[in-house]
């Protein structure tokens, strides 16, 4: 979206520009429709409660989407997401902000590709990592 990020711009420890989202019940309904994830725990409070959950919860896959967006926004149009691993550890509730964050853990060149490994996670208001993961991206070089 902004200026292109290059391999040379990144060092280990570089922070990925965070992305703040405020999922509402409306967004969960739209996401259920768009993703065909019609599990009622995302829109039917009674069903969610009877399943032992604290209320309707944000789709794990919507959090996947946020974690990938934080990366695609950061790596720009010439960057390429090669791999992402995400664990759904904690539940998030609609009406509460979710911040997607990440840091660079390693940079290296392999088979002519400029690769960056990152840690990524979604964070709730208490600072808990509800969906941690790792990602591998390729960046263009200035050279």
Partner 1 sequence: MTESVVTEDMKGWLNKELNRVEFDVEKVLLRRYAEAIEDPNPRWKEAVPPNMFTAIFAEGGLVEYPFETPPKLLDGGGEWEFFKEARLGDTLTGVRKFVEYKEKEGKLGHMLFIIRETEWTNQKGELVAKNRSTSILY
Given 83, 96, 128, 141, the residue binding partner 1 (CB under 8 A): 83
- Would you say 6 or 76 has its CB closer to partner 1? 76
Given 33, 55, 95, 97, the residue binding partner 1 (CB under 8 A): 33
- Asked if residue 99 binds partner 1 (CB under 8 A), the reply is no
Cβ contact 88:63 at 8 Å: yes
Query: For partner 1, which stretch binds (CB under 8 A), given 5-13, 57-65, 93-101, 119-127?
Result: 57-65
- Asked if residue 73 binds partner 1 (CB under 8 A), the reply is yes
- Asked if residue 49 binds partner 1 (CB under 8 A), the reply is no
- Asked if residue 115 binds partner 1 (CB under 8 A), the reply is no
DSSP state of 3: S
CA atoms within a 13 Å half-sphere pointing along the CA-CB vector of 55: 7
- Asked if residue 54 binds partner 1 (CB under 8 A), the reply is no
Cβ neighbors of 33 (< 8 A, separation 6 or more) are none
- Asked if residue 129 binds partner 1 (CB under 8 A), the reply is no
- For residue 68, how far is the Cα from the chain centroid? 5
The CA distance from 65 to 102, in Å, is: 14
Helix (H) or strand (E) segment spanning residue 61 = helix 60-75
Query: For partner 1, which stretch binds (CB under 8 A), given 10-18, 60-68, 100-108, 116-124?
Result: 60-68
The nearest distance, CB 4 to partner 1, in angstroms, is: 12
Given 5, 7, 10, 60, the residue binding partner 1 (CB under 8 A): 60
Cβ neighbors of 5 (< 8 A, separation 6 or more) are 74, 75, 76, 79, 139
């Amino acid at each position: 979206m902004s200026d292109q990020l290059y391999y040379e711009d990144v060092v280990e420890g570089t922070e990925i520009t965070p992305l703040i989202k405020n999922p509402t019940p409306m967004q969960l309904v739209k996401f259920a429709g768009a993703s065909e994830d019609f599990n009622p725990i995302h829109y039917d409070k009674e069903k969610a409660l009877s399943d032992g959950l604290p209320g309707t919860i944000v789709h794990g896959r919507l959090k996947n989407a946020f974690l990938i967006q934080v990366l695609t926004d950061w790596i720009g149009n010439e960057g390429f997401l090669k791999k992402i691993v995400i664990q759904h550890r904690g539940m998030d509730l609609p009406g509460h902000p979710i911040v997607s964050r990440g840091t660079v853990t390693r940079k290296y060149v392999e088979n002519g590709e400029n690769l960056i490994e990152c840690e990524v996670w979604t964070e709730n208001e208490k600072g808990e990592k509800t969906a941690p993961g790792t990602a591998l991206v390729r960046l263009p070089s200035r050279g």
